[in-house]
Amino acid sequence: MARLQLVFYPDVILKKRCADITTLDQEIADLVRDMSETMYLENGIGLAAPQVARNIRLVTLDVEPQEGGKSLMHLINPVIADHHGKTTYEEGCLSFPGITAEVKRKNKIHVVAFDVDGNELDFEADGLLSICIQHELDHLNGVTFVDRLTPLAKKMVLREYGQIRRETVEDEQDDIVRAILERDAGA
């Protein structure tokens, strides 16, 4: 197993719609295993392929990580077939370390996907599982949780994130990152 490098906002892959997976092979099986390890090591409950620089429709999630992997799920080419109700939840994201925001989501969802063996999964999800799946599916569609905020809330959250990045990341890309964050916070 290998710990994968996380992708952080404003990396462009986080804004791209991912391609469907058409072949289940050893490469996908290895990626699923590595994504699971990375998610657990980063103390996350969900991880989408674009967050580890893979532009494919794959998510790994475990909303009860303290249970030792009993609720670990891998969803390939997932879609939300139906949804009901509304809820809000204070969300964070491994691609936006250090920030959280209250996001509006659907309360209950009907999901259709495939597992790593090619078996169809067809199930209902609510609560934290529903929120996590919606968050990760957004990543597959090039949408981040800050895109779900009001313009003012997005501006405030991105400003806070920019400050955190400036304090923790010092590299040759600082000016580029700063310009993108300022542009997005003004949008």
Two tokens, residue 186? 């003004």
Residue type, 138: D
Neighbours of 98 (CB within 10 A): 12
Judge whether 136 counts as a catalytic residue. Answer: yes
Q: Exactly one of 136, 160, 167, 182 is catalytic; which is it?
A: 136
The alpha-carbon radius of gyration of the chain (Å, integer) is 16
The C-alpha angle 89, 95, 98, rounded to 5 degrees, equals 65
Residue recorded with tokens 């895109």: 147
d(CA 78, CA 42): 23
- H or E element in which residue 53 lies: none
d(CA 161, CA 99): 6
Q: Annotated catalytic sites, by residue?
A: 136
